[in-house]
Amino acid sequence: MVNTSKVIYKPDSQSTEEYTVIVNSDEFKKWKDGALALVVESFDVFVSTQGAQGHLGKASNQQLDTVFGTTKDVDVVTKILKEGREQATDGVSGSNYTGSNPSRGGESRGSGPR
């Protein structure tokens, strides 16, 4: 089983927003530069406005552009890995992690009255 952790980047000390990437902790410890595919579980960047314990939602392109100056996932993930801090995780289990909220149930777009 893959050991996962998250790398958290806080834009500045006054910010309440934290940007998170889920990583393979063993590969992250060895990573310096180069291939990200072995390190990250996905190229999704998550944001919390309530710190490390807050709800994680997928960061919007506008948020990424404002904070990182780009929406290119490789550039954003690289900056988070280089400047963020690693934190152990509970409840994220390697390849079972999909980056979506399983409590939301199935696809609901298009259902209901119009």
What CA–CA distance (Å, rounded) separates 80 from 76? 6
Q: In the prediction, which pLDDT does 51 show?
A: 64
Q: In the prediction, which pLDDT does 84 show?
A: 93
Q: In the prediction, which pLDDT does 95 show?
A: 42
Q: Where are the domains of the chain?
A: 4-90
Q: In the prediction, which pLDDT does 106 show?
A: 46
CATH architecture of the domain covering 4-90: 2-Layer Sandwich (3.30)
C-alpha angle 29-57-94 in degrees, rounded to nearest 5: 40
Dihedral angle computed from the Cα positions of residues 57, 4, 66 and 61, in that order, rounded to the nearest 10 degrees: -60
Q: In the prediction, which pLDDT does 76 show?
A: 95
Residue 35: CB atoms within 10 Å: 8
Can you give the length of the chain in residues?
Answer: 114
Residues of the chain with pLDDT under 50: 93-98, 100-109
**Reported pTM:** 0.74
Point out which residues pair with 88 in neighbouring strands: 5
Longest CA–CA span in the chain (Å) reads 53
What CA–CA distance (Å, rounded) separates 66 from 95? 30
What CA–CA distance (Å, rounded) separates 18 from 53? 10
